[in-house]
Amino acid sequence: MQIIPLLYLIVFPLLWLLSFINATFKKYSINVLSTFNLLVWMYAVYSIKIVMDIAQFFYSLKGSESDSQFLQLVSTEFLLKQCLKVILPFFFLVPSCRKNLLFSLLVLGSFCWSMDWSLPDWSALFFTIPYCFSLFSATYALLWLLKEHPSQKVAYMYNPFQLAVKYIRYYVTAINGKGHGVHSPFVFDLIVKVLNDQQNHPAYQNIEPIRQDLLSNHQPITIEDFGAGSRVKQSPVRKIATIANSSLKPKKFSQLLFRLVNYFKPATIVELGTSLGITSAYLAAANNNAKVITMEGSTAVAEIAQSNFNRLNLHNIKLVTGNFDYTLSQTLNDINNIDFAFIDGNHRYEPTVRYFNQILSKSSQHTLIILDDIHWSEEMEGAWEEVKNHPAVTLTIDLFFIGLVFLRKEQQQKEHFVIRF
């Protein structure tokens, strides 16, 4: 009995069972990624087996035959079968091939032929079906992981030229920032009282010196790479100044967040992406009665954020450290209702939409959800579109660098504003 098909037969149903548990009972937090990782391992085992088969074949011929006989023995059929074993699983990754029944059967048939599995051997079928299935899944997982690898992430963002073109288009087409022509009283008030509020609030003077300190701090720290959150290619050791320079929301938008909290007076605020704590500090300083729950994956970065909160005497912030993929659902379990959320981390399509939906599950019609960097990349623009089209969303305001999402029931007809800010 072949050990590898047997291994597949045991591991494969187990993996799918785990995925099922993960999807159904999310609290167990068995991450799909670990399933994918295991599948990739299986793919590696499979590849090693093919290489070993080839090596063993050549070894068995060596010495026993003359050179010409040796070459004859390396039959075309053998080589063809080895090639098919490697290539065929990839055919199933092309949706149009996968959906074509005849083609799928052809691929499966060729695969069985390359593996020397014959139909009359019914007992082999018992192993063959899950083996093929897991192999194709493993191939898919491998490609998926390669695409998800951190080195690939930076490439997804628009280049500075594309961003500039997009910004110019936004600037030219956006509604005048003074609110002229805006008929919605809610949006008009927001523009006049919040977007255009030029007051110099005392909190600004407390927080901005901390940003300056961070920008001039050249101490290196070791950080974990979490998501596509920075415009700069990630390196595990980075200077605090570099992080401050590339990751923090500029003064203009941090202070807008302050004014939004000041205006709407949310009781519970959730922030995804603390970094060094500047926006969290603004959110907390805007309303001492609000509870700010901010989340950060990188421990070293979170420690600096916490020291900044202490320095600012902000005691209404709870800092949660860990990957949002795990911490968000755990944190949301302890919250009844979110009034204000700022999603500023892991700027990819799938996680952004997922975090949005998770936050939505704890939202009311008075909740304001803010998405950062909505035009940062094709994926983020896709996520922004998805959010705009969500049935619960009734009003959105695109300020190019951030997007405001309202769920107000009074808003009878969905409206999407693009406002110059």
Ligand X SMILES: C[S@@+](CC[C@H](N)C(=O)[O-])C[C@H]1O[C@@H](n2cnc3c(N)ncnc32)[C@H](O)[C@@H]1O
Residues in touch with ligand X (CB under 6 A): 226-227, 229, 247-249, 273, 275, 278-279, 296-298, 301, 323-325, 344-346
Q: Token pair 């992080």 is at which residue?
A: 243
**Smaller CB separation from ligand X, 8 or 355:** 355
Which is closer to ligand X, CB of 328 or CB of 360? 328
Please name the residues in contact with 86: beta carbons below 8 A apart, sequence gap of 6 or more: 47, 50
Our CB check for ligand X shows the closer of 115 and 314 to be 314
Q: CA 105, CA 113: separation in Å to the nearest integer?
A: 12
Q: Which is nearer to ligand X, 233 or 414 (CB)?
A: 233
Min dist CB 24 to ligand X, Å, is 23
Q: Which residue's CB is nearer to ligand X, number 135 or number 214?
A: 214
C-alpha span between 303 and 292 (Å, rounded): 17
Q: Which two tokens stand for residue 151?
A: 């080195």
Q: Which residues pair with 291 in a beta bridge?
A: 268
Minimum CB distance to ligand X smaller for 191 or for 301: 301
The answer to whether residues 369 and 363 touch, using CB atoms and an 8 Å cutoff, is yes
Closer to ligand X by Cβ: residue 287 or 298: 298
SS3 assignment, position 405: strand
Q: Minimum Å distance from CB 28 to ligand X?
A: 19
> What DSSP element (H or E) covers 270?
strand 268-272
Q: What is the smallest separation between the CB atom of 312 and ligand X, expressed in angstroms?
A: 13
Which two three-digit tokens encode residue 351? 């996680």
Comparing CB distances to ligand X, the nearer of 229 and 403 is 229
Write down the least CB distance from residue 279 to ligand X, Å.
4
Beta strand 291-296 with 317-321: parallel, antiparallel or unpaired? Answer: parallel
Q: Is 98 helix (H, G, I), strand (E, B) or coil?
A: helix
Element at 415 (helix H, strand E): strand 415-418
Residue 191 parent element (H or E): none
Q: Considering the complex, what minimum distance in angstroms separates the CB of residue 249 from ligand X?
A: 3
243 vs 300: CA distance, rounded Å: 12
CB of residue 234 to ligand X, shortest distance in Å: 9
Residue 22 CB, shortest distance to ligand X, in Å, is 17
Shortest reach from residue 262's CB to ligand X, in Å: 18
| Residue of 126, 94, 110, 112 whose CA lies nearest to 13 | 126
Q: Which sign, positive or negative, has the C-alpha torsion 30, 31, 34, 36?
A: positive
